[in-house]
Amino acid sequence: MIILYGTQKSRALRVSWLLEELGIEWQFHFIDFAKGENRSESFLALNPSGKMPVLTDGDFVLTESAAIMRYLAEKYGQGHWLPAPGSQASGIHERWVSFVISELEQPLWNMGKHRFALPKEWQLEAMQNVAKWEFTQAAAIAEQWIPESGFVCGSEPMIADILLTQTLGWALGFEQSIGPKLSAYRDRMKDRPALAAALAKTAPK
């Protein structure tokens, strides 16, 4: 049985969304940060960093959301959710994965770290403006790259689409602006039934 550990507001959501898209059986194990469950002995045995998400597939344990998603797509995707290896589409897809994680997501996470995640003595107010500038630059590039219709690699959604959509949602949550093409793209993605199913399954009880 596949078990996903995390919270809905974390990167675990992207994994739960893919699990629903794949249509496979899985269970969600909510980790309560407020109660310190991420620092419990049992959770640290799965991921010594205490971070989420963590996925177990039988005896196999995997961390890091992008790695988890690639593993799931390769094992359970039946040829979907990843382009053919060695194809130009695969190159474009990997560019998107890298860009979302390293360029789009990081400024937003810096905003979060310097608002609530870091201890107060390490929070820097000036980081908000720095991160906003960095995100604006990256979002302008993404606006150029994103297709007018469809998904990042054509007519079928891929892992990168889920990564990008969640990151754009975070951007709007942090009151950052995105261009009209990115906005229209996010609207296409966020209405997928699998996302609604993942949100329902991961909702706090």
pLDDT digits (tens, 9 = 90+) for 46-56: 999 999 999 99
- What is the CATH number assigned to the segment(s) 88-192? 1.20.1050.10
Domain boundaries, the chain: 2-81+194-202, 88-192
How would residue 96 be classed by pLDDT, with cut points 50, 70 and 90? Answer: very high
What is the C-alpha separation between 54 and 11, in angstroms, rounded?
10
Q: Which pLDDT band, with edges at 50, 70 and 90, does 172 fall under? A: very high
Using CA atoms, how far apart are residues 108 and 79, in angstroms rounded to an integer?
32
- The end-to-end CA distance of the chain, in Å, is 21
The helix or strand, by DSSP H or E, that contains position 2, with its residue range, turns out to be strand 2-6
**134 burial type by CB count under 10 A (0-12 exposed, 13-18 middle, 19+ buried):** middle
pLDDT of residue 59: 96
Q: What is the pLDDT of residue 145?
A: 97
Q: At what angle do helices 65-76 and 12-22 cross, to 10 degrees?
A: 10
Tell me the helix, strand and coil percentages in the chain, rounded to 5: 60, 10, 30
Q: What are the pLDDT digits (tens) for 9-66?
A: 999 999 999 999 999 999 999 999 889 899 999 999 999 999 999 999 999 999 999 9
154 phi-psi bin (left φ>0, alpha ψ -120 to 50, beta other): left
The pTM (predicted TM-score) of the whole model is: 0.95
Distance CA 84, CA 96 (A): 15
- Percent of the chain at pLDDT > 70 equals 100
Residue 88 near residue 96 (C-beta atoms within 8 A): no
Rg (CA), the chain: 17
pLDDT at 136 over 90: yes
Average pLDDT, the chain: 96
Query: For residue 9, which phi and psi values (nearest 5 degrees)?
Result: -85, 0
Instruction: Output the CATH code of domain 2-81+194-202.
Output: 3.40.30.10
Four-residue CA torsion sign, 152, 153, 158, 159? negative
- pLDDT for 81 equals 98
For 126-143, what is the mean pLDDT? Answer: 97
Distance CA 8, CA 203 (A): 6
- Residue 173: pLDDT over 90: yes
Residue-level pLDDT at 67 = 97
pLDDT at 205 over 80: no
What pLDDT sits at residue 33?
Answer: 86
Q: What is the pLDDT of residue 156?
A: 95
Per-residue confidence (pLDDT) for residue 18, from 0 to 100 = 98
